[in-house]
Structure 1
């Protein structure tokens, strides 16, 4: 298990796993008063935390499934990446894909933080790639039925 350094002013904003099998920790809104995201609007919401990740780890900011299914709240960029050399405050770029105003109260859980390993690579330029059964088949090339 890694120990990750975290800087925060308010201990109630400390991300934590909600269940023993959780992959993500909830991120909370570090705001002083309720804010509203209108349908179609984007908003950068502060979390009040900064972290120090070791090289080889990244933090992924992900949408909360409950907010997505109930209210249409997601992340503008799908998944946000916090690099190991970033030391600023983590902020969550939310979007309201729903049809109603969405209200965020102070300390509401607004996203999840998942810590992942990564590898940095180097490129090897070639003229030909190894052939596979799939080849260049992409987007929907296998169809939708099990036949």
Structure 2
């Protein structure tokens, strides 16, 4: 099993490392680092929340930041750039963008699980300009062009 290295930010002496909730979980839980107290969200608010750690990912991987299904479906929190990407060469503090679409104000507290991170393999490709592309049965129809059924 490969390792992911996490470094605590100054003042984070109590949050556990990001971790998988079950043996079969694809994503590890990320917790809110809010040392100055809870953060209240109102409808339409977008805020960045620190997870209290910087990270060093294995070569050839990325960390995808995704919504937690319970927080999204039960409470109305989305990740506006989902999935967010943390590149392997980034060493700054990992931040999670949260967008609140719920009706009533909602409070996020220090240590609450606010997102999940999936580590994925990445392959880079050479970009090449060509005069034509190969034919396809799909065509060039865009958004929704294949219908619902």
The correspondence for 1:68, drawn from 51, 72, 88, is 72
Where do 5+ consecutive residues of structure 2 fail to align? none
Q: Distance in 2 between matches of 1:36 and 1:95?
A: 12
Could you report, residue by residue, the CA deviation over 1:107-137 in whole angstroms, capped at 9, with x for unpaired residues?
Answer: 0000001101111111121111010111212
Instruction: Indicate conservation of the 8 Å contact 1:13/1:49, yes or no.
Output: no
Could you report, residue by residue, the CA deviation over 1:52-92 in whole angstroms, capped at 9, with x for unpaired residues?
Answer: 11321110111111111111101121221101111111111
Alpha-carbon shift at residue 12 of structure 1 (Å) = 3.1
Asked if 1:112 is matched to 2:116, the reply is yes
Q: Distance in 1 between matches of 2:46 and 2:14?
A: 27
Alpha-carbon shift at residue 11 of structure 1 (Å) = 5.4
Q: Give TM-score scaled by structure 1 length.
A: 0.92
Alignment of 1:67-146 (within 5 A): 67-145=71-149
Q: Give TM-score scaled by structure 2 length.
A: 0.91
Structural RMSD (CA)? 1.3
Alpha-carbon shift at residue 20 of structure 1 (Å) = 1.4
Where do 5+ consecutive residues of structure 1 fail to align? none
User: Stretches of 4+ moved more than 4 A in 1?
Assistant: none
The correspondence for 1:21, drawn from 21, 24, 30, is 24
Q: Distance in 2 between matches of 1:130 and 1:41?
A: 45
Query: Number of aligned pairs?
Result: 145
Instruction: Indicate conservation of the 8 Å contact 2:30/2:114, yes or no.
Output: yes
